[in-house]
Structure formats: C-alpha cells, structure tokens
Structure 1
Amino acid sequence: MRIVVSDYAASPKSGGTFSILEDFYNDVLQNDSQNEWIFILAGKYFPTSANVRIIVRKDLKQSKIKKLLFELGTGSKFINQYDPDVFISLQNIATLGVQSKLKIVYLHQSIPFYQEHRFSFFKKDERKIALYQRLVGKVIKYTISKVKPITIVQTNWMKRAVVQQTQQKASKIITVSPRVPVINDNQLYKNQQTAFFYPATAYLYKNHQLILDAIRVLNHQGIKNFKVSLTLTKTQLPTANQNVELLGFIPREKVLRMYENHVLIFPSYIESYGLPMLEAAQKADLILAADIEVTHEVLSGYSNVYYFDYRDPVALARLMRRVIEGKVSSDLGPIHLSYRNESLLQTIRRIIEEKI
C-alpha cells in the first residue's frame, strides 16, 4: 500500500508542529516496513529507507500564495502522480482533488475554531492570530466540508467544534489524545506556596498579560513575597516587576523539576490539548487553570486544580493569594496515567484497517 503524507509547513523552527511530524516520521521509519511511504516536506530533515522517502517542496513553505493554490488546486495533480492508496495531511487542511481511496487529516490547530473573540487585523499583536482564525480557518473548514476526510482531533471539545463549524459527520471525526509521556520518578510537588510557574511560548492567547495584571493586583494589596517564573525572554516580555523571573527556553527535564516546587498557572484560552497540565498533574502539582472546555476535559477527575476566568486578573490574583497564604494546597494525589495513548501511526493503522 502506498501512503502519501503532506506536511511541508513544518520545519525545525516550527515548535510543536515539527515535533508531531518528527515523532510520526520516526515511528513510521522504525515500525512500518510493509507499506510504501512518501512524505512531502519542506526539507530533507530525516533519514530515508527502502520504503520511506521524502519529496522536498521548499517552495511551498516559502510562499503563502503558492501554498494556498497547492491546497485548493495545483496540489492534487502533484500528489495524484504518486497514485496514493491513502493520503494524509498533517497540516490541518484537506487538499482538494486528491484521488485516493482514503483521506485523513490530522487537525491540531484550534485557533480557527475559537469563537469567543474575533481577532483583529488592525491590532498589531492580533494580526497573526487573526490570519489563522479568519483566513486560514476558512480554508481549513471549507476543505474539510468539501473533502469529508477522516479527521483526527485531540479533544472532544474540538470534535464538537468541528461538527458545528464544518457540518462534518461526527462519525468521521476521531478523538485521539496526544501521546503523553508517563512520569514515574515519584518526585511529587512539595506544596511550595510562594513559587509559581508557567511554561509557554509568547503567543498572545497564552495570556501572559493576565499574569502580569494579577501580580500588580497582589502588589497593590501589599503582597510581594512570591515569584512567578516564565519561559520567556526580556525581548518577548519586557517587564521590570521584581516578582517575575524570566527563564527563557528551558529543557523538558527542567520543566518537570519545576513542577515539584512551583504551582502551575495555566491562563491560556486557546488550546488543542494543554500538555503542561497533565505533566504537572502527574506530579500532584497545584494547578490554577483558565476555566475553558479543554482544561476541564484534560484534567477531568483531578482534585488539585482551581479554575478562574481567563479575562479577570482579579480572579487569578485571588487564587494566588489563597495559595500564598496557605489556604489552598495540594492533597498530593497525582493523576495516574497507567497507559500511554496510542501513537499517531497506530491510530492511522487502525483507521486504514477499518476503512480499506
């Protein structure tokens, strides 16, 4: 069987998007010698084998117009020349016109399905998000509505959103949580009351500003005996507040250690999944999380989470103050993940077995 995978949008500088591709590619390379795999990528990022090869389309990565034309028209001719039995898009869009028995889309971009706020092209800090929400989002929804592929999403809230906004049948949408590393080191949270932590990139929707505003509220109340550590640089978040520690990028091993003596603050209001929450919960960490669907779904049944309105810095400050004053603490009961969710390759194999 010949399987063609499109993910030319991913590159080593694209963070989590590239991690998805890298994990999937390595899984295919190591664990599938039966099928022929063709990956359409922006570069030859990985080794190949007798049955796994890479077709480089760097031009699509460099031009948004060319990318759009590829997805809506020219791409099908290029892909169809390889005569795929299965076509997989790892970049959210269902390429129009592909002639394969089975089409699969891995939909991991949640911004187009967020409807509580309409981001503006006229605000500098919102432009990039507005592009994804209002333009790229329309392409994603249109192609899924048109092609009707099997669509893989990470959470049930995303499944509901896709059904509502694309008229795709629920039976064609599969919810598969990302593969979560199980932590077995038994080093639990130490109920530290004055140290807070938020590992996140600088995207607007990660909501760092809410944390800064909450800190100002606490300072105004005379509370200054605490520290909030963020994985940003001074360039990304210019602030002179003495309660803020800017760590820059730190490796995952250090992130896991930080959970042991820091309360996790998670104010992000757009998430496909929110992996830091499950990592922290395995450490029995105290978590202060935005009150949105995905946080409730990911942390379902976890006893050490407290929710706040992600638009209200006073609500977050109130929770932080309760922690600092020792009125809120962890019961040291971690969330137990006794299993690892199936890999993306395992999910796709299961779909292929059922559909072909």
Structure 2
Amino acid sequence: MKRKKIVISGINMVEGGIYTILHNALQELSKHIENKEVEVIALVHDSSKFQFSNITIIEIPLSKKSWWFRLYYEYFYFKKLSKQVQPDIWFSLHDTTPNVVAKKQFVYCHHPTTLFKPTWKDWKFDYKIGVFSVLYDFLFKINISKNHTVFVQQHWIKEIFEKRFNITNIKVAIPQFVEEISKEKIALNENKIHFFYPSFPKSFKNIEYLFEAIKLVPEEVLNSCEFHITGLKNNNTKYVNYLNEKYKSTEANRLKLLNKNIMLKYYNSIDYLVFPSKIETWGLPISEAKAHHKNMLLANLPYAKEACGNYENVSFFNLENPKELAEMITEIVAKNHVFQGNKIAYNTNEDLHNWKEVFQYILTD
C-alpha cells in the first residue's frame, strides 16, 4: 500500500484557544497514524512547543511577524513547498485555503469575526476586530472551492457559508471537548446567588450588557446576588479601562484571567453562568458550565443554542434589551423563574465529534 502523506498547517496558531486546537489536533493525529502507512508534516510557528516522534515539524517563525508574511506563506511559499513535498492531503487548520498542489485539500474554519458586524465600539477598543471582520471574509473566499471539505463548528455557520460562498461541501466538526469536573470549590458567600461570566475581555464579549442589566436590578434584589467577571483585574487594555471607569460604581467581583484549575473551581461553586457574548464559533464556557450541571442565562443567538444543546435549566435573553436579563435575575432571587429550556434543532447524524473522527474522514480514500 502506498504511503500517504499529509501536511497540517497551523502557522499562526501560537497561543490561547487556537494553539489548543493545533496541539490537540496533532496529538490525536500522532495517535491515529500509529502502525499506519501515513507520513505527517506539521507547519508551525514554534517547533519547541511540539514533541511528536512520528510527526515532522517544520518551523516558520516569521508567520506571526506581520500579515504580509502570513499572506506570502499562504499564497506563494506554500505552493513551492507543496511541489517539493508532494502531499496527498493538505489540511489548513486556520481558516484560509492556501495556494498549493495536493490531491486533496481541507480547511478548518473557526475564526468568529467573519460572522460579525463590528460596531464603532469594536473599532474603538480593538481595531483588529474590525479589520479582521473585513479581511477574513475576503480571505475565506480565496480558493475555498478548491477544498474537498470545509469544516465548521456549528450548523448555523454551515448555512451561512453555503449561501455566502456558494458551496455545498461543508461538514460540521464539533470542537473536541473533554469534560473536566472539579470537586474543589472557591469560598463564596453562601447567602448569595452567584452569577459567573468567564470572559477574555474583548469588545464583542459584550461585558457592558451585563453591567447594564445589573444597574436595572432593584437594590433589594442585588443584595442577594454576587456577579463574578473574569479579565477585569490587572488588565490595562482600552476596553477594560473603559468598563472599569464607566461602571466603577456598579458592584461586581472583578477577577483577573483565571487558570484552568481555578476556573473549574468557580464552575463548581457558582449558581448561574451568564453569557452575553455577541459572537462565538462555539462558546466553550457553555460546554464547561453544562458539564458541571449549572443553570445558564445565555444570549438569544444561534451559537449559544447550538452549544447548549438539549438542556432544561437554561433561559435566553435578547441583547438589545438588558432589562430582560435584569428581570430574569429578579425572578431567580424571588424563586419564581421558569427556565425556557433548549432542544437541538439540527440533525447531527453526519457531524464529526472529535479529532479522531475528523482524521478518519480525511484519510479515507
């Protein structure tokens, strides 16, 4: 049997969630190809972060220096490299479809800003969000029809891609989520109801919506509540400074960004997840709170409903009206809130549920 060669490209996936995607994918692929006639070449920014004995790592350190380097690699250098390597499969893990020569191409699209219409606040507090919302939409289109399959994380994104890019070869690949449950707790006031918004404070995370809702809650109700928001302490970004100045008199437990262990302790300790983000390609805190069987108050948006799945203890609020969330909080304190609940609205039989299934799919002739 002919040895199959696959190139995995993740040259801009250097930190945070996107680095986790790349590392998890390579980890699973390394296991998947054991005792198989498959050769893997991974293109990464920093080779020191990856130790896989059966994967050849090619380091491309200039890939994050500027967008000009990124575009050069995607649309010029990779074509030259692909002619040298002669891969059977080229799998781009970072949204764009490079100009390469390969028998099959695949792309994994997970950057949310192409689905987002930024407001003036987004431009003001992080101009990159505005730039990316325009740039990524353009870059997604380039070569996208060359792919055997385009992977996205949710069905509503698939529907948008089908219309926007006029393609039908789209498959939902649900992000691999490993349930981690903490048995430890954070010491919180047992006489209060605790609401938790774990957020990396970008403007599209819409933290001001939660503050506006808190301001609308009657004082006697607020006395029974505590709101915990991550990323607002020891953080000097424009958006955080704006929030802390504008809402300095609004009471909330402003937390620094938390490591994984402390985050899990919070999930185990709080009563409600609150999640008003304007856009996500998944919404990992929803999965994490669900794994801890927590009550959830979520934005009334497609990403939140799909990430939530079948779940009873959840209600949804409209982002145009913070009064809706304030009324839910008031009902919760009065112990008369009735959860709306949620049901899966899509046929998920054809979905891929982890990296193992993704690689079985792309390596099948």
8 Å CA contact 1:39–1:53 kept in 2: the answer is: yes
Shift of 1:193: 5.9
Match of 1:263 among 245, 269, 272: 272
Distance in structure 2 (CA, Å) of the matches to 1:285 and 1:196: 10
Is residue 105 of structure 2 the alignment partner of residue 113 of structure 1? no
Kept in 2, the 8 Å contact 1:119–1:129? The answer is no
Quick one: distance in 2 between partners of 1:322 and 1:226?
12
Task: Give the aligned partner of residue 349 of structure 2.
Answer: none
Structure 2, unaligned stretches of length 5 or more?
Answer: 345-351
**Deviation of the 1:243 alpha carbon:** 2.5
Deviation at 1:79, TM superposition (A): 2.9
Residue of structure 1 equivalent to 2:195: 196
Give the TM-score, by structure 1 length.
0.85
- Which deviates more, 344-353 or 221-230? 221-230
Q: CA deviation at 1:287?
A: 0.5
Quote the residue 2:17 is aligned against. Answer: 16
Deviation at 1:258, TM superposition (A): 2.2
- State the 1:257 CA deviation: 3.0
SS, match of residue 273 in structure 1: coil
1-side partners of 2:16 and 2:331: how far apart? Answer: 35
Task: Say if 1:29 and 1:352 are closer, same or farther in 2 by CA, change over 3 A.
Answer: closer
- Structure 1 window deviating more from structure 2 (313-322 vs 287-296): it is 313-322
The one-letter code sitting in structure 2 at the alignment partner of 1:102 is K
Q: Answer with 81-90 or 298-307: which moved more.
A: 298-307
Deviations 1:160-210 (A, max 9, x none): 1111111111xx11112112223577999x998621001110111111111
How far apart are residue 66 of structure 1 and its match? 1.9
Quickly say closer, same or farther: Cα 1:192–1:86, change in 2 above 3 A: farther
The more displaced of 30-39 and 302-311 is 30-39
Q: Is the 8 A contact 2:154 2:172 kept in 1?
A: yes
**Equivalent in the alignment of 2:357:** 346
What residue in structure 1 maps to residue 348 of structure 2?
A: none
Closer, same or farther: CA 210–40 of 1 in aligned 2, 3 Å: same
Report what 1:244 is aligned to: 252
Indicate the SS of the match to 1:140.
helix
Q: How many percent of aligned residue pairs carry the same amino acid?
A: 23
Q: Give the match for residue 291 of structure 1.
A: 300
Structure-2 change in CA distance of 1:29 and 1:203 (3 Å):
same
Match of 2:262 in 1: 254
State the one-letter code of the partner of 2:231: L
1:315 aligned partner: 324
Structure 1: which amino acid aligns with 2:138?
K
Match of 1:128 in 2: 128
Pairwise mapping of residues 17-32 of structure 1 onto structure 2 (< 5 A)?
17-32=18-33
For the residue of structure 2 that corresponds to 1:88, the secondary structure is: strand
Once the two structures are superposed, residues 282-302 of structure 1 have per-residue CA deviations (whole angstroms, 9 ceiling, x without a partner) of 332111100001112222321
> What is the SS of the residue equivalent to 2:363?
helix
SS at 1:269's partner residue? coil
Task: Give yes or no for contact 1:121–1:131 (8 Å, CA) kept in 2.
Answer: no
1:338 alignment counterpart: none
Matched, 1:142 2:145: no
Q: Which letter maps to 1:73?
A: F
RMSD of aligned residue pairs (Cα, Å): 2.8
Which runs of 5 or more residues in structure 1 are unaligned?
336-340
Residues 175 and 31 of structure 1, relative CA distance in 2, 3 Å threshold? same
Give the letter for the 1:143 counterpart: N
State how 1:41-56 maps to structure 2 within 5 Å. 41-44=44-47, 45-49=49-53, 51-56=54-59
1:349: Cα distance to partner? Answer: 2.1
Q: Given the two structures, how large is their TM-score scaled by the length of structure 2?
A: 0.83
- The separation in 1 between residues aligned to 2:112 and 2:135, in whole angstroms, is 14
Q: Deviations over 1:308-330 (max 9, x none)?
A: 01232212111122122222277
Match of 1:94 in 2: 97
Aligned length: 336
C-alpha separation in 1, matches of 2:62 and 2:40? 21
Q: Distance in 2 between matches of 1:176 and 1:46?
A: 23
2:283 is matched with which residue: 267, 274, 277? 274
In 1, the alpha carbon distance for the partners of 2:225 and 2:181 equals: 29
